[in-house]
Amino acid sequence: MAYKELKTVYFETPGKGNTDKTLSLVKRRAEELGIKNIVVASYTGYTGALASEAFKGYNLVVSAGMMGFREPNKHRMIEENRDKIEANGGKVFYHLHAFGGLGRAVKQKFGAIQVDEIIAHTLRLFSRGVKVALEISCMACDAGLIESGEECIAIGGSGSGADTAVVLIPSNTHRFFDTKILELICKPRVG
C-alpha cells in the first residue's frame, strides 16, 4: 500500500503571532505541490498584505468579509492594506459568510439553529481556522476567483492573523460536500 508521510505544524497557542510561520509553511507547500491558487481570510487586510508579499505571481484571493458588518455600506479593510494587496496582484472580495448569513438572520429573529451553523460548529472542533479555510474557499469559488475542483491552499485564523492552512479541492457553497480536504499544513493544537 502506497502512503506519504507529511509534516503538520501544531501551534501551542492560536492567533496573530503565528502568521509569518503559517505563510512560510504555505509558501513551501505550494511550491512543492505546484499550487498557484491561494485563498486567505483578512478583514482588515493585515494578513492579506503580508500574503501579497509572499505570493506575488500566484492567484492570491483575499476574503475580506461582508459589507455592512458593523455599519451599513462599510467594510473593515484598511485602504493602505487593500492598495498593497492589489499592487502585488492580489484580488480582494467582499461576501456574505457561506456558513452564516441568512441562517443567522433566522436565528436572530426566531431562535432556531440552522444547518449552516451546525456545519460551522462541527468544523470549529478542529479549529476556528479550519472552519474559515473551508468557508473562504467555497466563497472564492462562488465569486469565480478560483476554480471548483482545482487544488488550492486556504489560510484562516482565530480572530486575527493566520494560524491555519489547508490544502483542499474546493467546491461552490451549494456543493459543499464535494469539497475534499487533502492536507493540513498547520493549525493551533487547541483550536
Q: Domain containing 85 — which CATH number?
A: 3.40.1380.20
Walking along the chain (191 residues) 10 residues at a time, the average pLDDT comes out as: 93 96 98 98 96 98 80 83 98 82 70 82 93 95 95 95 97 93 96 61
What pLDDT was estimated at residue 188? 97
DSSP one-letter code for 44: S
In a domain? residue 120: yes
In a domain? residue 69: yes
Query: What pTM does this model have?
Result: 0.88
In a domain? residue 85: yes
Q: b/e string for 26-49 if b means 16 or more Cβ within 10 A?
A: bbebbeeeebbbbbbbbbbbbbbb
| Total domains, the chain | 1
What pLDDT was estimated at residue 135? 94
**Contact between residue 59 and residue 51 where contact means Cβ atoms under 8 Å apart:** no
In a domain? residue 2: no
**Contact between residue 99 and residue 139 where contact means Cβ atoms under 8 Å apart:** no
In a domain? residue 121: yes
Q: Give the integer Cα–Cα distance in Å for 153 and 101.
A: 24
- The domain of 179 spans 20-188
What grid cell was written down for 91?
Answer: 484580488
In a domain? residue 6: no
What pLDDT was estimated at residue 118? 86
Q: Give the integer Cα–Cα distance in Å for 78 and 45.
A: 6
In a domain? residue 9: no
What pLDDT was estimated at residue 69? 65
Burial of 96: CB neighbours in 10 Å, binned 0-12, 13-18, 19+: middle
